Chains A and B, each alone.
Chain A
């Protein structure tokens, strides 16, 4: 069973508009972490934002915010005021404890295209 699901293979947004990238997860571990990474065409993975399962407030980092709905097991990324440079692949990931090691499980990714 998939542990991280990103249902949007591709998304389009107009420059300066906001966009929401969906992510749902599945875990029975009460302690977990959720991450979003951006991967431009150059290939590097850029850390954007982190939400811990016990965090009371939704995480925000500049134009990025994470809409964390624990009961629904969703952790959507909201990008406000989109810029052309935001065009990239976006991956949602969950930190899972397994055998004492914390490892990341990645979703399939969403390709975001920002249009002028």
Chain B
């Protein structure tokens, strides 16, 4: 099956710093990548959709300037949490979908803790 990796798997940072999370599709070209956020014991909430080479489409209520998304190639998308605050602490998961495909394959997730 399709493999998606995420790095780092967990990160702890100080309030006010920025954190970059990478999402890579390892064995297929991902024309579309998605970023989700999941709070403990809750479902996944879509933050944004990104297509390679174009600007990300953010969901309502998600701050574009706080959560910077770059989809520079068909195998890599990055999410940068800028000026992180404790309320940004969460589990961030990316997914990727190939051209014309229905199924999204998910990365293993990144647990962010902001102190």
A-facing residues in B79-113 (Cβ within 8 Å)? 91, 93, 95, 97, 102-109, 111
A64 within 8 A of B: no
A108 within 8 A of B: yes
Q: What is the bound-complex CA distance between A44 and B107, given in angstroms?
A: 7
CB distance B49 to A103 under 8 Å? Answer: yes
Q: What is the bound-complex CA distance between A111 and B86, given in angstroms?
A: 27
Interface size class of A (residues with CB under 8 A): 20 to 34
**Cβ 8 A contact of A42, one of B95, B102, B104, B108:** B108
Q: What is the bound-complex CA distance between A107 and B45, given in angstroms?
A: 10
B contacts with A: majority SS = strand
A contacts with B: majority SS = strand
Chain A 101-113 per-residue mask, 1 if CB under 8 angstroms from chain B, else 0: 1111111110000
**Cβ 8 A contact of B49, one of A44, A101, A105:** A101
A-B pair count, CB < 8 Å, reads 54
CB distance A91 to B44 under 8 Å? Answer: yes
CB distance A45 to B106 under 8 Å? Answer: yes
Q: What is the bound-complex CA distance between A107 and B42, given in angstroms?
A: 10
Q: What is the bound-complex CA distance between A91 and B42, given in angstroms?
A: 11
CB distance A44 to B106 under 8 Å? Answer: yes
Chain B interface residue count, Cβ-Cβ cutoff 8 angstroms: 23
**Cβ 8 A contact of B43, one of A91, A95, A102:** A91
Chain B 59-79 per-residue mask, 1 if CB under 8 angstroms from chain A, else 0: 000000000000000000000
With contacts A99-B57, A104-B46, A106-B44 known, is A44 near B108, CB below 8 A? Answer: yes
CB distance B43 to A45 under 8 Å? Answer: no
B-facing residues in A62-108 (Cβ within 8 Å)? 91, 95, 99, 101-108
With A45-B93, A50-B103 already in contact, 4 other A-B pairs whose C-beta atoms are closer than 8 Å: A45-B109, A95-B102, A108-B42, A109-B43
